[in-house]
Amino acid sequence: MKKLFSLLAVISYLPSLAQQGPVHVESLVINPYQTFSKKDTSERKQIAGWCLYMSTNEDYKHITEQASAKYFPGPVKEGAKKVKRTVNIRHQQLPDEQLPIVSRMSFSDPLRSTMYSTGLYAVAGQPIEIQIPDSLVAKGLHVQIGCHTDPLQAGWSAFEDWRRMPYIITDIALNKTKKKVTSPFGGLVYINCEPATSSWSSNITIDGAIASPLYVKGQTSNEEWQRQLQQNKAPWGELMADKIILSLPDSVLQTIKHPDSVAALWDLIVSGEMELAQLPDKPYRPQRMVIDEHLFAGYAHSGYPFMVHHSPTMHMLSTDIVVDPGKLLVPSEGGANWGFFHEIGHNMQNYDWVFDGTTEVSCNFFSLYMFDRLTGGRDGAHSDIRNTHTTALMKEYFANGANYETWKNEPFLGLILFRQLQEAFGWESFKTFFRKCQEAAKADPKFERPLSDAAKRDRWVGDFSAITQRNLAPFFEKWGIPISDSVKAVVQQYPVWMPYNFPPQP
């Protein structure tokens, strides 16, 4: 599920604080067993408005714990001790040569501020102090408290009963060397910096938070990890691999006995998807995945971070699979692992090759690739790519007459076209196609000549025909995909290709 709404859209939706009525938000409890009804629209606007106001409220002395915080993100265990810790943060600027490509990968929120983990947790209603050197004051840094960035007043969740408060992060600008901040909900502490900001490395001191588990691949030993878990009082922590960072509740972290194996497998997954997309092996920042009780859209959605549901009351379970290498690669007929691969696939999509009807199709290239490369095949990968389902979809579609409007509204029907190309010409043809798109992007670094939808369809036909040395225009037209006369004229130099027994008979 691609990310559908921006925070700006959320802000425009909310009422001003002055318009709020008598709802006492500070004492309001919302949790999976005490949901807030979708029917109470005026009260929901007031609650959402309060949450958004508090997310940037700098009056740290007068912010108290919101009553729902003990349920989500959860309570701090008894005996927690506040610490003063200096963390070294190294910001890596998004390289100029990657900007034309990355900026077209809109589903991944490529220009959203990079979140740097600190291994600290801010207690709800209690202030922390952040101290930065003078050299960073003008860098536009922010402190963020909380990893659950989804606003429930937008998207599908606007029409669902809320299972947590609608907006629970705090985001405050670090525009002076010392800043005190209080969150009504609490959460993991991050230092945020925009990707285009020039690279820097510096020590930042945070006082008043508590330690939270943070595994760093290649730095944290398994023994040190177990000590962190034994001493942990925070409800959330993180596992940091090279290519991805997982934000997980303590109940899940406590089950991880071999974090090195979990980190290695997730690096393998993300590296594989990057390899298909032909992206640099060393990304300018890792992907992020956050587990959440309630998302604004779908079972999961793409973005930075990409979000995954775990809600036992809604029978949406994911946490055991996330951290268990023995389960993560077991075919699940379209279950959690297909979903993980699918959402990371959205983060790999390039606007220049996603045409109308393929947003929920081309992300599944990456799901297929992961099953091909990591499990040895597609058996059990998803019920909708079974042979029987594939044949039934095709026969019904062609019996009714191939029609682009129908094709683009059925993702697994749309996927068949690209499966046929992959089966005939292999994954290397896709990699070559993606490289050609990237070269074209570099020729238009400021995105001054965005492609029309028709031009994207023509690109698939024209470039893929050149790559395979086959005329693919009749194949796309047989599927009902509109293409231009000009691209048909260009590719007629190649021999026509059509799969055997296509459309399927009898």
Which of 348, 363, 395 lies at the terminal end of a domain, its last residue?
348
171 falls within a domain: yes
Considering the domain architecture, whether residues 312 and 264 belong to the same structural domain is answered as yes
Amino acid in the structure at residue 220: T
360 falls within a domain: no
Beta pairing, strands 187-193 & 236-240 = unpaired
Amino acid in the structure at residue 432: T
Query: Contact at 8 Å (CB) between 239 and 288?
Result: no
Considering the domain architecture, whether residues 326 and 394 belong to the same structural domain is answered as no
Which of 330, 348, 366 lies at the terminal end of a domain, its last residue?
348
Considering the domain architecture, whether residues 118 and 257 belong to the same structural domain is answered as yes
Considering the domain architecture, whether residues 405 and 324 belong to the same structural domain is answered as no
Beta pairing, strands 244-249 & 287-292 = parallel
Considering the domain architecture, whether residues 339 and 391 belong to the same structural domain is answered as no
Which of 297, 330, 348 lies at the terminal end of a domain, its last residue?
348
How many domains does the chain divide into?
Answer: 2
Considering the domain architecture, whether residues 178 and 234 belong to the same structural domain is answered as yes
Query: Contact at 8 Å (CB) between 374 and 269?
Result: yes
Query: Contact at 8 Å (CB) between 341 and 273?
Result: yes
Query: Contact at 8 Å (CB) between 367 and 380?
Result: no
Q: How many CB atoms lie within 10 A of CB 387?
A: 7
439 falls within a domain: yes
440 falls within a domain: yes
Assign residue 270 the CATH number of its domain: 3.40.390.80
Considering the domain architecture, whether residues 253 and 323 belong to the same structural domain is answered as yes
364 falls within a domain: no
365 falls within a domain: no
Query: Contact at 8 Å (CB) between 129 and 179?
Result: yes
pTM check: above 0.85: yes
338 falls within a domain: yes
Considering the domain architecture, whether residues 133 and 251 belong to the same structural domain is answered as yes
Write out the residue range of the structural domain in which residue 417 sits. Answer: 386-492
366 falls within a domain: no
Considering the domain architecture, whether residues 338 and 413 belong to the same structural domain is answered as no
Considering the domain architecture, whether residues 166 and 288 belong to the same structural domain is answered as yes
Considering the domain architecture, whether residues 304 and 399 belong to the same structural domain is answered as no
Packing angle of the helix pair 222-231, 259-277 (nearest 10 deg): 110
Considering the domain architecture, whether residues 191 and 101 belong to the same structural domain is answered as yes
From first to last of the 506 residues of the chain, give the pLDDT tens digit: 544 434 434 444 443 333 344 689 999 999 999 999 999 999 999 999 999 999 999 999 999 999 999 999 999 999 999 999 999 999 999 999 999 999 999 999 999 999 999 999 999 999 999 999 999 999 999 999 999 999 999 999 999 999 999 999 999 999 999 999 999 999 999 999 999 999 999 999 999 999 999 999 999 999 999 999 999 999 999 999 999 999 999 999 999 999 999 999 999 999 999 999 999 988 999 999 999 999 999 899 999 999 999 998 888 888 889 999 889 999 999 999 999 999 999 999 999 999 999 999 999 999 999 999 999 899 999 999 999 999 999 999 999 999 999 999 999 999 999 999 999 999 999 999 999 999 999 999 888 888 999 999 999 999 999 999 999 999 999 999 999 999 999 999 999 999 999 999 98
Phi, psi of 283 (to 5 degrees): -70, 160
- Output the six-digit token pair for 230: 């034994």
CA-angle at 408, arms to 375 and 276, nearest 5°: 35
Query: Contact at 8 Å (CB) between 27 and 67?
Result: yes
